[in-house]
Structure 1
Amino acid sequence: MGEKGNWKMIKWLLGMGYWVQGLRCFPWLAVIFYLKDSLKVDPSTLQILQNSAALPMVAKPLYGVVSDSFYFRAQHRLPYIALGAILQLLSWVAVAILASSSISVSILSFFLLLSNLGASIAEVANDAIVAEISKQPTFSKKGQSSSAGGLQSFVWMASSLGGVIGNLAGGVAIEKFSTRTIFLTFSSVLTVQLLITILVDERSLNLPKNQSSGGMKKQFAQLANALCKPDIAYSIGWLVASYAMVPVLTGTLFFYQTEALEIDSSVLGISKVFGQVGMLFWSYVYNKRLKTASPRKVISALQATMAVFMVSDVLFVNKLYQQMGVPDSVYVVVFSGLLEVLIFFKILPFSVLIAQLCPPGCEGSLMAFVMSAIALAMIVGGYFGVALASFVGVTGNDFSGLPRGLLIQAACTIIPLFWSSWIPDLIKPDVAKKE
């Protein structure tokens, strides 16, 4: 297989992997409605379950070190993607079988944790491939060298496309089909991914050779050394703080939209689709216009925009837009859909920044550490949101304190901007080479 052929196959495999990653919203949308309508959980319990299910994401550095250190028949990326698909497949098939009869919240939580464990392992392997290749000369369709940001934008678009399809199909499927059918449908997608992955020999792709040796001990040492570099340490510190200190109110807003406003599932599905389309557009704009811009300015601008959208939510809950003639469903589709994904926008420029700062040999472990740090920060933000909802007195049928909670959320979003100097102001093209 020639160099261009390798590149096409790598992009195809990565595209499939990230597309499935984005498609995970399809069964998860059904899970949220199943918890609310069938298991009758309250907003705080729903949000706690959603955030707790993400706990396997926190262990991503361990998965990254293992994938960097241990090979299966001279392969150390695709076998882990296959393992992740297997764990997810087993989980969703089990949930599909049990959901048709009776399943407790604890049993459902166990299988959701197992599913996220599989997804985490697969994501680590995919992220490591992207980080490795981002430092190598790659080829576009015309055979010209492309930048590191191009591959990040490509996989971002693949994930967003999966999200568009998953949310659009999920919003309709919830009203037309049983949850069992939805879970089994996603299981069939995982089966296809698994078959494709095990049929490809990683050695035929000529991926960049891992420059590290010495097993897990050396990998941990390399990861620790990378984290001691000021640019990397301060950047990660800022990103983690920018997520952890912002209280997440997704569970509360979901109940507000479905109970107080009586927004149906199809509208919520379209809202999420609109958000995913926004992510696609963002990846295109970033790749074409912003990938050479200052990471600090781009990420800071996104943080400020999030705060503006949160203030807009305050006006929405106070019925200002309704008085202006804007239907609730329109606002939910456009503004709520964008805000839900806007918090992820800064991950794209940050991933490009870290990939270029990352020393050779620990791409998998460092990228995994970054993603796990983000996951942990989001979990903390989710628990913080449960506490905030309780503090302002929001319940499943009383949303009078929601505007005050949203204002506090917006204020917390602004605070990280005061130490945005922790983010490097400019990426030099030769940073990775010097490392």
Structure 2
Amino acid sequence: MSRLAQTNPYLSPNILSITTIYLTQGLLSLTSLARTFLLKDSLHLDPSTSAALGGIFVLPWTVKPLYGIFTDTFRIGGTRRKGYILLAALGASLSNLGLGFEGFRGVWGEGREVEVVVFLAVLGSGCIAVTDVVADGIVVEESRKGGGGGGGGGGISGPNLQSLCWGSAAVGGILSSYSSGALVQEIGPEGVYRYAAFLPLLVAGVSVFIKEEPVPDVPEKIDNGLAVVGSKLKALKDAFSTNDVWKPTLFLFLWQATPSCDSAFLYFLTDEMHFTTEFLGRVKLVTSVAGLVGVVVYNRFLKDVPIKDMLKWCSVIGAILGSTQLILINHWNTLLGIPDDLFVYGDDVILTVLGQVAFMPTLVLAAKLCPVGVEGTLFALLMSIYNLAGITGSEIGAGLTKALNVSSEDFSNLALLVSICNVSSLFPLLFMDKLMGGIDEKDDNNDTADAEIM
């Protein structure tokens, strides 16, 4: 293997390891549909509660910079990468295993099943987030070996390595998309989690092959380590206090934090329209491919469009297209001779492509905002804030769902909920000029933007 790695850097232990990590992350999307039906059918939760819990499950991804600072500062067993990946992978496996057995939830006391599921789901989400942060650190190190361009340093260039990682995760997501629905239908959500418990073990297995360079400046003592953490946090605070950073970040938060009705609409598809989980898996497969199409469309035709224009027009078009859900809710599509399943396919594909096109400029914007010296950590912080905004949108949507009394038995106000969510998505545009003024005139950080957008 070492001789092959010398001639082909893609076969080096570190590259194969991080490729496996990202592939596994994509494959673990197998559990996304299972979690939805675990809450809906096994725990019998209403749409508003499911939406609220969906936001909580993503919370560990909002503090990724802290993982990065911590793992860069403290060692486990004398390693900066192996130990964290191994422990996090084992934690994710145990989390899925616990979710896979209904009896395990019951041993903690009657009526506490929801608490146990939330704890295990948050634990698993946090463990995957840690492996993601550590893998990102390895990507940065390997990118330096390859240099900023064509890999003249004997390794793989940053953009090529980012493409490999992102592509591996996308392949994993596509492979798991269709099977997720079929498996939920055949063996139930708990059965899917039992199968998924084996996937993190792949990450644990490859972690032992990761090669690390000795880092003498990593503190061995806790007090020295805390001092390093404090200095990094201060650097982040100083960078984030400038108008050029916090104002566009506030706009991104507002743009992403508008209410979502996804959970209520999924209940409508299954309980009112009677779509099976196998069909929803097929839709998920098609939308996964559509996400890749969105990336290609952006990179091929739209990457030179000013960021403000992209965000504005994506918001307007997204609100218009999102309103097409009203056609399905009111069954107007049948009057046009369009079957329900065909309408769902077309609607989801178009919205997914648009959503991916809208997401790409946010990566470019985040890369632009990062000053020299804290690029990686600040970028992770910006993406964490973006994730937190998504959670906020889910929680607001959950509150609206409950306030409008939308439930699995009553969808009479679903059209109103969808309308409110779509109209509110235009609200952040009122603040665009004030918060995003001059953002398109900032000099590009081409290396960072190219690497992150891939």
Does the residue aligned with 1:248 lie in a helix, a strand or coil? coil
Aligned equivalents of 2:244, 2:372: Cα separation in 1: 16
Aligned equivalents of 1:191, 1:88: Cα separation in 2: 9
- 1:247 matched to 2:259? The reply is yes
**Cα deviation 1:237-281 (Å, max 9, x = unaligned):** 21111111x111121011100001001101111111111111112
TM-score in terms of structure 1 length: 0.85
Distance 1:107 1:149, change over 3 A: same
Distance 1:97 1:401, change over 3 A: closer
What does 1:23-422 correspond to in 2, within 5 Å? Answer: 23-72=27-76, 75-98=79-102, 102=106, 104-129=113-138, 137-138=147-148, 151-203=161-213, 215-244=228-257, 246-336=258-348, 339=351, 343=355, 345-421=357-433, 422=435
**Superposition RMSD in Å:** 3.4
Does the residue aligned with 2:338 lie in a helix, a strand or coil? coil
Does the residue aligned with 1:263 lie in a helix, a strand or coil? coil
Aligned equivalents of 1:147, 1:410: Cα separation in 2: 41
Distance 1:60 1:139, change over 3 A: same
Partner amino acid, structure 2, of 1:226: A
**Structure 1 unaligned spans of 5+:** none
8 A Cα contact 1:89 1:191, kept in partner: yes
Distance 1:270 1:144, change over 3 A: farther
Aligned equivalents of 1:48, 1:427: Cα separation in 2: 38
Aligned equivalents of 2:297, 2:82: Cα separation in 1: 30
Aligned equivalents of 2:432, 2:20: Cα separation in 1: 35
Aligned equivalents of 2:81, 2:299: Cα separation in 1: 26
Partner amino acid, structure 2, of 1:105: V
Distance 1:226 1:158, change over 3 A: farther
Give the superposition deviation at 1:150. 5.6
Aligned equivalents of 1:142, 1:111: Cα separation in 2: 45
Give the superposition deviation at 1:354. 2.5
Aligned equivalents of 1:119, 1:351: Cα separation in 2: 21
Q: Is 159-168 or 250-259 further displaced after alignment?
A: 159-168
Q: Is 138-147 or 193-202 further displaced after alignment?
A: 138-147
Aligned equivalents of 2:143, 2:368: Cα separation in 1: 8
**Given the alignment, which residue of 419, 423, 440 partners 1:425?**
440
Partner amino acid, structure 2, of 1:326: I
Distance 1:68 1:221, change over 3 A: farther
Aligned equivalents of 2:15, 2:211: Cα separation in 1: 15
Aligned equivalents of 2:249, 2:46: Cα separation in 1: 34
**Cα deviation 1:400-430 (Å, max 9, x = unaligned):** 2111211111111112233334442156455
Q: Is 392-401 or 285-294 further displaced after alignment?
A: 285-294
Give the superposition deviation at 1:72. 4.7
Give the superposition deviation at 1:83. 3.3
Count of matched residue pairs: 426
Give the superposition deviation at 1:47. 1.3
Does the residue aligned with 1:397 lie in a helix, a strand or coil? coil
Does the residue aligned with 2:101 lie in a helix, a strand or coil? helix
Distance 1:17 1:334, change over 3 A: farther
Give aligned-pair identity as a percent: 25
8 A Cα contact 1:272 1:333, kept in partner: no
Decide which structure has the larger Cα Rg and report it.
Answer: 2
Give the superposition deviation at 1:285. 3.2
Distance 1:161 1:79, change over 3 A: same
Give the superposition deviation at 1:298. 3.1
Does the residue aligned with 1:203 lie in a helix, a strand or coil? coil
Distance 1:101 1:412, change over 3 A: closer
Does the residue aligned with 2:260 lie in a helix, a strand or coil? coil
Give the superposition deviation at 1:64. 2.3
Q: Is 265-274 or 1-10 further displaced after alignment?
A: 1-10
**Cα deviation 1:288-345 (Å, max 9, x = unaligned):** 4444543333333333332122111122212222211111112223323553685455
**Cα deviation 1:149-190 (Å, max 9, x = unaligned):** 665554433333222222211111112224443223222121
